[in-house]
Amino acid sequence: MPTIGSLAVAAIVGGLSGLHTAIWGMYKDAVHEGFGPARFARSVVIGAMCALLIQSFIALDLSRPGMLILLFGLAYAGERMIVETWKTFFRDEDQSKYFIPMQFTMLGRPVANPSARRLAGLGYIVVCGVGLAMIDSFDLRLEPGRMSAAIAGAIVGLVIAVGGGWKDAPKEGFSLLKFFRSPLMTVSYALLLSNVTNRHLLVAAAAIGFERATAETWKKFFFPSKPPGKFAGKPVTHPEMLKRRRWFIAPYAAIWGALILCGALSFVPE
């Protein structure tokens, strides 16, 4: 059973994962839609709740740096899955402000019928659940190691790539390099995480979190003048955020620094 202390640590780790997500989400989007404190705090709260739930079930040894890394990735993936599923299938929002629709689409056109979207969302949740259960069964079917971890990472990476292509390709066109970027990253992270745990489900899920963290960091901070794809061609309506968003760079970099430090410490012999 997890201790009160480990749950407190889990809440902090999950909150930091949510803060990381909230910062990159705000960094480019806020210049087009303004800064929403509730929207910003949402990811922090959900990230903390995901970490608490995960720690309650699997009771990771959070005195080990590698387990902190693992929990961060798991909470990150959980927050992203919850928020993106809600936005895609269950939220009702005017899509005219976007170049790439954020709701579920068919051939690039948003599905207007709320009932149809929600039914598709329920199907998506079931399919994801079956897929994760299949990866979890690798523990019994495959010998734990780098090869099986890479397979698990490749599966979730291809799911991310297909989902991104479904949403973006009708508006941006299909890019082979962009498509395979996610599988390459999830396989790479799965191989690294296989040094921390031999549970295939944990490796694959955490790899999703770190793929999202890395991809969004690259897109948001290395090309700051390029608008996000969903706002391509849309006007900057909140230019004041071009300066205010700089305040968040230091805490964002600090979180990355802490992750790198924990990653380095996880390879130090105990």
- b/e 92-129 (16+ beta carbons within 10 angstroms → b): eeebeebebbbbbbeeeebbeeeeebeebbeeeeeeee
Q: What does the block give as tokens for 68?
A: 């902190």
With 90 as the cut, is the pLDDT of residue 144 above it? no
- pLDDT at position 226 is 85
**Strand extents, DSSP E, the chain:** 105-106, 109-110
Beta bridge partners of 106: 109
Global pTM value: 0.94
With 60 as the cut, is the pLDDT of residue 95 above it? yes
168-222 residue pLDDT tens: 888 888 888 889 999 999 999 999 999 999 999 999 999 999 999 999 999 889 8
- pLDDT at position 118 is 96
Least confident range from 66-80, 100-114, 177-191, 243-257: namely 100-114
With 70 as the cut, is the pLDDT of residue 270 above it? no
- pLDDT at position 194 is 95
42-94 residue pLDDT tens: 999 999 999 999 999 999 999 999 999 999 999 999 999 999 999 999 999 88
Give the SS3 label for residue 76: helix
- pLDDT at position 121 is 95
Regarding predicted confidence, which is higher, 159 or 227?
159
Domain ranges of the chain: 4-266
6-46 residue pLDDT tens: 999 999 999 999 999 999 999 989 999 999 899 999 999 99
With 90 as the cut, is the pLDDT of residue 96 above it? no
Q: What does the block give as tokens for 158?
A: 């291809």
| Long-range CB contacts (within 8 A, 24+) of 217-226 | 217/24, 217/256, 220/24, 220/27, 220/28, 221/24, 221/27, 221/249, 221/252, 224/27, 224/28
- Cα–Cα distance measured from residue 214 to residue 187, given in angstroms and rounded to the nearest whole number: 13
With 80 as the cut, is the pLDDT of residue 268 above it? no
- Cα–Cα distance measured from residue 173 to residue 175, given in angstroms and rounded to the nearest whole number: 7
Q: What does the block give as tokens for 42?
A: 């949402």
